[in-house]
Each structure stands twice: as structure tokens, then as C-alpha cells.
Amino acid sequence: MRFALYNNGRLVKTQDPSGNEAVFPITSVGLDDRGMYTCWYRTKSELTEWSKHSDPVELVVAEPSLPKPSASVNPSQGVSVREPVAVSHPSDLALLAVRDYTQGNVVRLALSAGVLLALALILAEAAHGWRRGRP
């Protein structure tokens, strides 16, 4: 079999392994190596018929001269992107905490219901006393 490795549609390497598997090591990765890689193959008996290309694999190469960005999450502000041409190393992880306010809301609702019930009882007692002629 013959295997061919392509990067962004450009032939990078071919290989004729003894078996049915090829390995294409990239020993020194640079900015020129980034892009979408696909692989095709053909048997030695079918010199003109190639397989369909493989699923693409994207190789992202970071620009080491750029500083590591800092990322944080603030619901009232948006997140903007720097210059899209160069890519730096990834930032430190940002912790996004989501709190469950259900228990606090249940407590507040129960207290509100208790206050509302107390007010209703006071009004009922006042109305009852008013009907009996008490001021």
C-alpha cells in the first residue's frame, strides 16, 4: 500500500510501509506545520485509484513568543479576542462556579408565608373585634 499525508490540500509525505498502517512523525513542529491534515491510500495494484481521504485532523501550533493570556468570567461583560493571526499557549483554567439558590429561596418563601399568615390572623382578629363592637 502507499499512503499520502496532506496538509491543507498540499502533499507533505508519502510512505510505502510493509503492512497496512503508516506513521508520519513530525519531529520538529513549526508554524508551517499547522493546519488540517488528511491521509489517502491506494494499493500497489491500483496505481490510479486512491481511497477517499480520512477525516481531517487539525494541528494547532502556539506562538511561544506571545505571553500566556489571563481569562476570567464576568456575566456583565463580554469576552473579546486578541489579534487572530497568532495563537499563544492556553491560559490558566478559570473556575466557573454555579450556585444552587433553591434552598435559600425555599427558606425565604417559608418565612414570607409565615409573615403573611400572621398578618392575616391579625386582620381576622381585628375584623372579628370590630364586628363585636370593640374598637
What is the H or E stretch that residue 10 is in?
strand 10-15
Cα(41)–Cα(64) distance, integer angstroms? 35
Domain ranges of the chain: 2-59, 96-135
Mean pLDDT, 10 residues at a time, the chain of 135 residues: 89 87 81 86 78 84 70 56 61 59 70 83 81 68
Asked if residues 21 and 48 have their Cβ atoms less than 8 Å apart, the reply is no
Longest dimension (CA), the chain: 113
Class of domain 2-59: mainly beta
Q: For the chain, what percent of residues have pLDDT higher than 70?
A: 69
* β-bridge partners, 59: 35
